[in-house]
Amino acid sequence: MANFDNILYVDTTAISQRRVFFKRKARIIEAKSWASGTDENKNYYTIWENDKYRVALGKPGKEAGTKYTGKTNPNDMRPAIFFNNVEVQKSATFQDIVKDLEKVGKTHTYALELLGCLLFRSAFLLDHKKVNSEGSEEIYRYYPNKEVVNKISETVPIIYGVPAEVFLHYLDAIALNEDVKYDFLGYDLEKKNVGGRNNMLTYVNLIAVISGKKALYTLTGPLLRSGVAAITNKAAFESLPHISDKQTTEKNISSYIIEMIKIPLVGSAPCGNPLLSEENIDEYIEVEKSKIKPGYNYFIIRAIGDSMNLAGINDGDLVLCRQQLKADTGNRVVALLGDNVTIKEYGPRIDGVRLLLPRSSNKDHIPITPDEGDSVQGIVQEVLN
């Protein structure tokens, strides 16, 4: 264990986009320099191999192919696994990876957490080393620690149908292709947290959820909105063994231990009862105490539908609300309309009537005129996801 503490320890000052951008940039430049083949005869470039397996990227990828009907990306590649020089016909979806990681987590939690440590390090290219230079361009390759990989392989020799080491390098190939994609789309990868980094940190977030270190809703909300759910650095340090040693944790205990408070999650159909009556509380969810203003009651409601998506509230989001019966124009409010609860913008008075306004890209939503007896129940403070 102590050995893994030394091997996997992550210096918090080393994990920023800017600090590792030189590696990411070099990898993108190398990948873009590779010549493309044809749809039927791709050119494959190997980024890792052993005596039986190799992981490579083939050009052109799907989004660069002549049959692709969407917006083409001329630099798109196809991550591939070869066994004895024969391509293993796999094209991993996020669902495929979720399924296999979930299998691992059911019986081998520690191996799964070790995998999470390696993926967190990979997100910031901490185990990517310069192998040589061709001309003026540097070349970096992924070298996950052998001792850690062997420890994982003792209990989980196969992940996604291949050895654990092959699986790690395959995810690295997918991450590289994502970096190339976002570079093509014009994102500044030195400043923006997008691309392969987010892929890796989403896998880490998934591992934290499977191993019981994080709640499921912290993963599902962001996934539904954007397709990725990158774990925060702080949550990773709280969830994974070894990446933060005991001495560092004790020095920075306030950074990693957050005082929490339980807030009720209320249902959407009060049925005549007050919104916060016990009958309407589905469960209690822990929220950072720093978010709670003394002297107020708070509740959480799960957003349904897309009527407020332009205001940052999407279907399935958990929304933290401060209980109060009055609001100002422009506030996002929780309103009780009969037995139904809705989140809308508190609009202006028109002919003496206050409107509740949707903020949505879906034009089917229209302003609501409250009936007598309808009331504001709270003010939206923030979306928790």
Tally Cβ neighbours within 10 Å of residue 71: 8
CA 218 – CA 209 distance, rounded (Å): 8
**What pLDDT, on a 0 to 100 scale, did the predictor assign at position 32?**
94
**What pLDDT, on a 0 to 100 scale, did the predictor assign at position 268?**
55
CA–chain centroid gap for 376, Å, is: 34
Are β-strands 260-266 and 162-163 bridged in parallel, bridged antiparallel, or unpaired?
A: unpaired
307 is a catalytic site residue? yes
Helix (H) or strand (E) holding 328: none
**What pLDDT, on a 0 to 100 scale, did the predictor assign at position 125?**
94
**What pLDDT, on a 0 to 100 scale, did the predictor assign at position 291?**
86
Residue 378 dihedral angles phi and psi, to the nearest 5°: -175, 170
Q: What is the pTM of this model?
A: 0.64
25 is a catalytic site residue? no
pLDDT in tens, the chain (385 residues): 447 888 899 988 778 777 888 999 999 999 999 999 998 899 999 999 999 999 999 999 888 877 777 788 899 999 999 999 999 866 777 788 888 888 888 778 888 999 999 999 999 999 999 987 556 678 999 999 999 999 999 888 888 889 999 999 999 999 999 999 999 989 888 877 788 999 999 999 999 998 888 888 878 878 877 788 889 888 899 888 888 754 444 444 344 445 788 899 887 544 444 566 566 788 888 888 888 888 899 999 988 889 998 988 988 888 999 999 999 999 999 998 887 889 999 999 888 888 999 999 999 999 999 888 888 999 999 888 6
**What pLDDT, on a 0 to 100 scale, did the predictor assign at position 136?**
66
Q: Which residues of 36-55 are buried (b: 16+ CB within 10 A; e: fewer)?
A: beeeeebebbebbeeeebbb
Task: Walk me through the domains of the chain, giving residue ranges and CATH numbers.
Answer: 2-253 (no CATH), 260-383 (2.10.109.10)
**What pLDDT, on a 0 to 100 scale, did the predictor assign at position 316?**
84
Please give the radius of gyration of the chain, using alpha carbons only, rounded to the nearest integer.
25
Tally Cβ neighbours within 10 Å of residue 190: 14
The active-site residue, picked from 33, 103, 307, 375, is 307
The active-site residue, picked from 67, 239, 344, 361, is 344
Residues 6+ apart with CB under 8 A from 265: 281, 282, 283, 284, 285, 299, 300, 301, 302, 318
**What pLDDT, on a 0 to 100 scale, did the predictor assign at position 245?**
55
